[in-house]
Structure 1
Amino acid sequence: MTIKGLEKHTPMMQQFLRIKAENPDVLLFYRMGDFYELFFDDAKRASQLLDISLTKRGSSNGEPIQMAGVPYHAVEGYLAKLVQQGVSVAICEQIGDPATSKGPVERQVVRIITPGRSVTKPC
């Protein structure tokens, strides 16, 4: 899969954009430590649907990065709110060890939640 201008982004944002390109029709909850972060249009949409703060931090490809996030320990409540509103979500977990990773921690989508069903992918 080729994403135009990918090399202009940081390695972590490149990883996010690749995973998002594989899951374009869902909100992508991207695990970063103790939070699930959403970026760009997903962040804007989630902030409106969940009534959470939309922030901007840093830049990628010369543009400010819009962000919104929820604590991992509270994610199920937020997922329930989204499903009730007819929104589908992909959960992207850190599957690599941050202590031994060179570059971004390995991540993959492990769960997709839709208003009709929840599917967990084996790791």
Structure 2
Amino acid sequence: MEILSVLALVLAVLALAFTVVALRRTQRTRGTGVEELPEDVHGLRQEVAALKREAGDALRHLAVVRYDAFGDMGGHLSWSLALLDDGGHGVVVTSIHGRSEARTYAKSVSAWTCEQQLSPEEEEAIAHARP
């Protein structure tokens, strides 16, 4: 019985040794360079890079600030909305709600700033939209 146990242990150690040697050979021959990837993987990498470039121009940074433009009105019916791309280019739209009318304004934003004077709420909307 002891001989069988010793024999099983020796076989297990040999199997482990062969496995380690085989793994080392596989790692040496496989390599890790990008140039060894299949051609379709290179194509996919180029697609992803192109999509990232296109997404940079998308208006994907946005924030809304709601507030009361006039002290005698409640409900936060006025708002400023910033719609910007990755570079901070886009627009900030503001709607001022009064008792008898509502006015809407749009201001162009370039590199996170605006040539026109911004209200504190518009500045806050741009700041919240900035990543």
Task: State the TM-score bracket (shorter-chain normalisation).
Answer: under 0.3
Larger strand fraction of residues:
1
**Structure whose CA Rg is larger:** 2
Larger helix fraction of residues:
2
Q: Which has the higher contact order (CA 8 A, sep 6+)?
A: 1
